Amino acid sequence: MSAKPKLAFFSFASCEGCQLQVINCEDELVALLGAVEIVNFREAIDERRDDYDIAFVEGSITRPEDEHEVKEIRERAKILVAFGACATIGGINAIKNFQPQEKVSQYVYGDQAATFPSYPARPVHDLVKVDLKLHGCPISKSEFLEACKCLLAGKQFTVPNYPVCVTCKLAENVCLYQKGMTCLGVVTRAGCDPMCPTFGNKCIGCRGLIDHPNVNAAFDVLEDLGLTLEEVTKDFTMFDGCHKEITEKK
């Protein structure tokens, strides 16, 4: 890599909320900008160049033309980071995967539907090799900064493979199950410094499942608490509708 590594940000089907999180880094951003050069970032700068080293790819792949573009990014980038739930697991976009595609297109584009072909949402790793996944809807600022520091220093960044419960315990939160609520934190990948349970809300799984989630046990526990199979599946497909273990339950 040249003196200053070049970063680029790209967006596919997404709300661009993850890019916004980068801008929200404010204080740290100044220090970060000293160490890198940003050559493509629609949310923040007008300049666009294609000589990037690290590409942050936000959004899921839902259109034929996205495929070509994401492959091109892969070819140019030395490191490709899937950025946010849409990109790492399909995210909110994958809710449409469980509905008739024509109906979805019609709902969004009306009589223009034929002009905008789209298909069920796919995470980026379905199409190209992904070097690092930064999960979450939106991504966590602190995780993003940690990952940047590691990438720049040539150090390995380890994405947590333990559930939200771990960080919930570190924060000494009262478990929501003890309060008669439910929570997907037992099978959801940590890294968010348990935003939701800390503020009394159930984890809805925006960071996707851990590597070996005990999904059966989760369904059992939730059904024991009176939820129907349909309700449980709905909780899980809010973000992780592309996950094999979940789609198999569907």
Closest CA to 144 of 135, 156, 155, 131: 135
Q: Which is nearer to other proteins, 128 or 209 (CB)?
A: 209
Crossing angle of helices 26-35 and 141-153, in 10° steps, is 10
SS3 at position 60: strand
Task: Go through the chain and tell me how many residues it has.
Answer: 250
- CB 4 to ligand SF4: min, Å: 26
Give the one residue of 36, 113, 195, 210 binding ligand SF4; rule: CB under 6 A: 195
Q: Which stretch binds ligand SF4 (CB under 6 A): 8-16, 67-75, 94-102, 107-115?
A: 8-16
Least distance (Å) between residue 29 CB and ligand SF4: 18
Q: Applying CB under 8 A, does 31 fall inside the site for other proteins?
A: yes
Would you say 205 or 241 has its CB closer to ligand SF4?
205
Residue 188's binding partner, choosing from ligand SF4, other proteins, none, with beta-carbon cut-off 5 to 8 A by kind? ligand SF4
Q: Contact with ligand SF4 (CB under 6 A): which of 15, 25, 113, 150? A: 15
Give one DSSP letter per residue of 147-203, joined into a string.
Answer: HHHHHHHTPPPPPP-SBHHHHHHHTTPPPGGGGT---STTTBB--STTHHHHTT---
Q: Under the criterion CB under 6 A, does residue 91 sit at the interface with ligand SF4?
A: yes
Beta bridge partners of 58: 11, 83
